[in-house]
Structure 1
Amino acid sequence: MLVDSRLILGLTNGQDSEGNPIKKTKSFNNIKPAATDQQLTMVVSVLAPLQAWDLVSVDRTNVHSLL
């Protein structure tokens, strides 16, 4: 049974002095487990322009109860 969900935005802001990408993640915890991927995609489309860094990835982590 799905009991919890987390939305994770992967962000980047250029490169460091060695040419490696500067990466950051922003997590949103306690996402309603019943929220569909399509609904979360709509939320991300609203949140992405509000970020100071560029959006490069979006992940969803789900926690399931085995008992």
Structure 2
Amino acid sequence: MAQGLLETTKLRLVFQAGIDNEGNPILKSKTFSNVTKAATADQLFQAAQAISVLCNGDLNKVERNDSSEIIG
């Protein structure tokens, strides 16, 4: 039976930096590596809110990106 071993976790913050000529939002992102694998969704959201205060633009989305190795 195959198993997935969690290798890395990254936190990605997406900001709305403005609106283009067609009325679509301009999105910019910032990714933070070396996030602890044990972090909960609530902890990551709180960290994202604290970081967003220091950045330009409105926080649009918070993503958690996990990478796993599949072994069999």
Q: Could you say which TM-score interval applies, normalised by the shorter chain?
A: 0.7 to 0.9
**After TM superposition, which residue ranges in structure 1, 4 or more long, deviate above 4 angstroms?**
none
Give the root-mean-square deviation of aligned CA atoms. 1.2
**Identity, % of aligned positions:** 36
The count of corresponding residues between Structure 1 and Structure 2 is 67
The reply to whether residue 18 of structure 1 matches residue 1 of structure 2 is no
Name 2:42's counterpart in structure 1.
Answer: 38
In terms of Rg, which structure is larger? Answer: 2
- Alignment match of 1:6 (pick from 10, 14, 17): 10
Secondary structure of the 1:23 match is strand
Instruction: Point out the more displaced range, 5-14 or 29-38.
Output: 29-38
Higher helix share: 1
Q: 5+ unaligned residues in a row in structure 1: which ranges?
A: none
In 2, Cα distance between equivalents of 1:61 and 1:24: 17
Give the structure-2-normalised TM-score. Answer: 0.81
Give the structure-1-normalised TM-score. Answer: 0.86
